[in-house]
Amino acid sequence: MRLLPPFASWREHLFGVPAGGPLPLHLIRHMRPDRAKHAIRARCQATGLADGTVLCRVLGRYKMYLPAEDRTLTPHLILDGYWELWLTRFFLRTLRVGMHVADVGANVGYYSLLMAEMVGEAGQVLAVEPNPAVAPLLRANLLMGGFAARVAVEEAALGAAAEDGRRLAVPGGAPMNAALMPRAAEGGHAVRVTTLDARLEGWPRLDLVKIDAEGAEAEILQGMQAVLARWRPHLVIEINAARGYDAAALLRRLAERYPVLRSIEHDDTLPVVTPEDVAGRRIGSDWLIFAAGDPPLPR
């Protein structure tokens, strides 16, 4: 009788995944979450480099350079090999070959890599990252993964209008939480601001956009009204009512174009939520809101 490796699920055996080999994305999508985590961790590897970065294998397949000083994302990818598995699996269920997508707040490229593989050579990805400390790692990760040709990197912040001279605050040990500072503020890093409407001029379409911008979501949506009107892309947007804007008002405006708003939950469910739900519950916690656009997603 042939025995399975102790960490292998029946799906791994069925599809013939070799022990320690790259983990197929369809297995991460279809496995039970606990088994997917186990399979990813079994393939997780990391090593520190002399330049202050860590080379890590994530999702059982991608090699990534990570900032060693980061205390938010890097520890999870080093030890677990994944980040926000519920959102990772959502994208695996949603993205299709040929899609044109935008990753706003790309950081070091975890979701950009996933998007690039899922949309294939026929697709296109725009990765937007304003933090000058991590944008080079984003480019390096895309190049190392073989996806540089299908991913355009925009090293800028997005907002309601184009601006020069804005400042970006980068918390110590938390580069993924970099955020635009008030216009009169000093310090931080100088960054350029553009709009998604301007950046996507010439694109044939936009199918999906993910927005994770640490409080700049309202301004970003204001600067992509032409995109929303022309293509009505699927939206995944992080909302936190404690970040200084009126979350309920923002979502009510969004609901004028997207009548049904859903929350991407940790258990892979997508319950319908109202603007008042998001503004009044789980204060201080992040909500991942999904607004289905056109065309309808395949089931």
* pLDDT tens per residue across span 147-160: 999 999 999 999 99
* Poorest-pLDDT segment among 16-20, 47-51, 123-127: 16-20
pLDDT at 6 over 60: no
Collect all residues with Cβ–Cβ distance below 8 Å to 246 and sequence separation of at least 6. Answer: 279
> Under CATH, domain 84-291 is a member of which superfamily?
Vaccinia Virus protein VP39 (3.40.50.150)
pLDDT at 7 over 50: no
What is the structure's pLDDT at 1?
A: 38
What is the structure's pLDDT at 243?
A: 83
What is the structure's pLDDT at 19?
A: 64
pLDDT at 46 over 90: yes
Virtual torsion, Cα 70, 71, 75, 78, nearest 10 deg: 10
pLDDT at 210 over 90: yes
pLDDT at 11 over 80: no
Domain ranges of the chain: 13-83, 84-291
What is the structure's pLDDT at 165?
A: 84
Entry pTM = 0.91
**Given pLDDT bands bounded at 50, 70 and 90, which one contains residue 5?**
very low
Q: Give the pLDDT mean for 67-82.
A: 96
183 vs 291: which has the higher pLDDT: 291
271 CB burial (10 A radius; 0-12, 13-18, 19+):
exposed
Strand order in the sheet with 272-273: 151-154, 124-128, 100-104, 208-211, 234-239, 287-291, 261-263, 272-273
Question: 211-225 pLDDT, tens per residue?
Answer: 999 889 999 999 999
DSSP type of residue 39: H
pLDDT at 93 over 80: yes
Question: 169-204 pLDDT, tens per residue?
Answer: 888 887 777 788 778 778 888 889 999 999 999 999
pLDDT at 65 over 70: yes
pLDDT at 146 over 60: yes
Task: Look up residue 122 and give its two tokens.
Answer: 């026929």
Question: 124-142 pLDDT, tens per residue?
Answer: 999 999 999 999 999 999 9
- Rounded CA gap, 164 and 24, in Å? 43
pLDDT at 21 over 80: no
